[in-house]
Chains A and B, each alone.
Chain A
C-alpha cells in the first residue's frame, strides 16, 4: 500500500463506510479522498473518452479529477467531501468501469 496514515489522536474511534461494496474503516475528519488513498486506491475513476485512470490531483476542489459517487450522488469531489459513518462510496476505479 503506497499511502499510509500518520498517528491519530489516541482514543479516536473509526467508523465504517462502504467502498465499491467492501467495508472500509475511516476516521471522522478524513475526506473521502483520504479514505480511498489509505485503503490503497489511487484510481478514483476512468475518463469517458480515453478510459484513462484518474485520482487525486489538486486536492482543493479546483480540478474535478477526483470525482466519485457518494450515497448515489454522482460526480462528488472526493477531496472536498468529509467522510460520514455508513457512507456508500462508489468509484470508477476498475478498468471496465
Chain B
C-alpha cells in the first residue's frame, strides 16, 4: 500500500475552487510558506465574481482580482485548471481527492489538509415554462454580456430579488438591450434604514447600486416590488411572460424574448456532503450548510469550507473566510501564525458578515414562490419529473427526500439535484405541512459531477 500511495500527487494543502475564497486562502497560506495545490473546474481562475474575460475577447482582468491572481505565479503555488474534483475520501492522516481533467493530468491527489471553496450558483426557482429556451439565470446572462461580449436577447424581463438584478439590468442596457421590467419578489425594503450602521463604509457597493438604479431610471425600465414572473410562454422559445404580484394572480402579459432569473444564490454543497461533512438546514439562508467551528473547519478534521459554498455572503466574506481557514490550516501544518494576524482577519470577517446579513434580511428567498407550480411544471429538468408526479408519490406515502428521489428519479440526472434539490424539498415540505429540515437529506454519492467511466480510473486507460 505505501508504494501505491507514493504514486499519488501529494499536497500539504489542497484548495478546491479558485474564486475569491479559494484565491484568498491560497494567498494567505503561501504567505506562511505552505505549498498550495489549487484545483479549479474553469479554464481560468477567478470563479464567478472574479471571472476573467478570455484575453482573445479583449479581456482586462478585474482590478480587485489582480493582486490575488498575480500570486498564483509564485513558486509554492500549483494550479490545476479545467479539472473537476468528483470525490474526497479519508486516506491515512489526510484525504484522497479524485480528479478528472484533460488528458495527461493527475487523477488522484493526496492532501494533508483540504480547503473547499466551491462557491454557489443561481437559486433555481421553478415556474411553468422555465425550461423554455430564452429563460436563463441572471448569472448566465451576466456572464454572456460581461465575459463573452454577447447580448443574449433584445427585450428582457428580469425576475428575482436583490441588488444583483440592478447590476444585470445596467449591463444589459449599456449593451443596447431593452429591459421591459425588473421584478423583485420582495416588498420595497423600507426597513433598510435600520441597517445603516452595517452599511457604513461599504461605499463602493452602495455606489454601484446607485449607479445601476440611475441607469435604469434613465432608460425608463420599471422596477416592480412584490412581483414575480408567473409563467413563460412561447412556441419553442420565450415570446411572452405572464407576471403578477407574489402570492396573487396573473395581472399582465408582456412581450419579451428573454427572461433572466435572479433569486439570489444557493451554495454548492455536493462535494462537502459527499466527503461526509455534516450539514444542517439553515432557515435564514433556506439551504443546507456545512456545520463549522470557529476556524471554519467542518465536522471532519482537516477539511474546511469557505465562501459562498458554506452560506451566501458575497465576495468579501468569502475572501476573509478563505484567509481565516488558511491560517487555521497553516497552524495545523505546524507553521507559526501571528496572533495579531488572526485577530485582524477575524475582525474584518465580522465586519463583512454584518453587511452580508443585511442583504439576506432585505432580500430573502420568497416563501410564496411554490404557489406558481402547476401539476405539469417540470421540477427536475434532467429527468423531466413534474410537480404532479412528485405530488402523487407524496400522496402514496413518501415522507423523505430520499424516498421521493428513489421513486421518481428526481435529482438522479446529470446535474445530480443541483437544480431540483431545493425546489423538491420545498414542495415536499408544503405537501406534508412540515419544515424542510424534517425531511432528511438525500444521500450524496460519488462521483458528484458526471465523469466518464474511464475517468474514474486512477490512470488513464
Contacts and interface: CB of A to CB of B under 8 A. Distances in A.
A3 B237 contact: no
B137 interface: yes
A79 B43 contact: no
A58 B41 contact: no
Contact of A28 (B56, B134, B237): B56
A56 B55 contact: no
Interface stretch (B146-154, B247-255, B363-371): B146-154
B342 to A, nearest CB: 33
User: From DSSP, what is the main secondary structure of chain A's interface residues?
Assistant: loop
A34 B309 CA distance: 27
Given A4-B150, A63-B415, A53 B122 contact: no
A6 B136 contact: no
Interface size classification for chain B: 35 or more
A43 B258 contact: no
B402 interface: no
Interface string A27-57: 1111101100110001110011110111111
Interface residues of A, number: 45
Contacts of B154: 2
Given A42-B237, A63-B381, A57 B149 contact: no
Contacts of B413: 64
Interface string B115-152: 00000011000000001111111011101110011111
A79 B140 contact: yes
A61 B141 CA distance: 14
Given A59-B137, A62-B418, A82-B43, A2 B257 contact: yes
Given A27-B57, A62-B415, A53 B133 contact: yes
Contact of B152 (A3, A44, A54): A3
Interface of A: 2-9, 12, 27-31, 33-34, 37-38, 42-44, 47-50, 52-65, 67, 75, 79-80, 82, 95
